[in-house]
Amino acid sequence: MRLLVVVGTRPQLIKAAALLPALRRDHDVRFVDTGQHYDEGMAGSFFGELDLPRPDHTLEVAGGSVADQVARMLLALEPLLIAEAPEAVVVIGDTNSTFAGAMAAATLGIPVAHVEAGLRSHDRRMPEELNRILTDHLSSLCFAPTPTAVANLATEGIRDGVLQVGDLMQDLAARVSDGVRDPAELDRVAARPGWDAPAPRQGRYLFATVHRAENREIDAVRAWSALLGDAASGERPVLLALHPGTRNVMERLGAALPPNVHAVPPQGYRTTLALQLHAAAVLTDSGGVQREAAWLGTPCLVLRGTTEWVELLAGEGGRMVMVGLDRDLATQALARLAPLDRAAEDARRRAQTVRVESPRAAEAINEALIRGVRGR
């Protein structure tokens, strides 16, 4: 089958790295990058690190409002789809690129296969939530990662073409996790150009990411910055992998990070996994980082009021806590999950014993596509 796979952001590149080898074994695949994450630090390094082939087509559609960006993607994708004439278009996740790929294909009568279908935060203020819902209702095949995602689709009347396949990101984490067990990985991180922060020591730092649109509002920036400041100390600093969009907002607002909270450049996939594994705890608003922390067994504080990955909260033995931007909740959670007198030993033990199992999601998706795309 001739397939066209559309990506545009850093998390989608991670998932594509897990999926494309399986698809290319049995299909004629065209790989399209919309350019939604245009920063080389955010996306470019992933191609070499993950053995991901360069896209067949790069659209360079970046910046602007949601409406502007999606409109430009649609204008670029329509003639490309007509020229390539794929039998199906595969879209991944919940970004503007996901929705634009699905919409462009659906308007041309091309079946859409949505990877990570059915996820719901039930918060329609999030652009990602709208993208998920719209994409699922445009799709002929919905590849759901969890039982809850399947149930969400059924609630919305989507039952045909739904298949629970597991999580592509777990496929890749299973492939890479053994290679980041050695705490010497942290020495290599600190030796890289552009690292202007204390050298991370196993179990003696906190790793953080903040990038969601709602956390770029002025009140939110002040709130999460204060929360990270409370969590940080001289003996346990916070290393914040700062998204370029978040950095731009902070610069525009004139917002400075508190003492002992250190901004570091966005890291590659392997490095991010290593920084999570060896941290005392992770603080994040990222769905991908939430899942990686859970598979690695690292305590995680979710800096959001909702999450689409509800199984993680229920199934991780209390190691994952949704604290939003509540400083008191965060302080209490860290005291319980990563106390200063125990966190280093916990991190050492975790690194020695971690084992991430692959759900073989890529194989399940590929086998379903081989059987053919069925319209609902």
Active site members: 211
Compute φ and ψ for 305, nearest 5 degrees: -90, -10
Given a contact cutoff of 8 angstroms between Cβ atoms, the answer to whether 306 and 122 are in contact is yes
Given a contact cutoff of 8 angstroms between Cβ atoms, the answer to whether 299 and 282 are in contact is yes
Which structure tokens are listed for 31? 């790989």
- DSSP letter assigned to residue 200: P
| Strand ranges of the sheet holding 141-144, from the earlier edge strand across to the other edge | 57-58, 28-33, 2-7, 88-92, 112-115, 141-144, 162-164
Contacts 24+ apart (CB under 8 A), 298-303: 298/347, 298/350, 299/333, 299/334, 299/337, 299/338, 301/330, 301/333, 301/334, 301/337, 303/210, 303/215, 303/224, 303/227
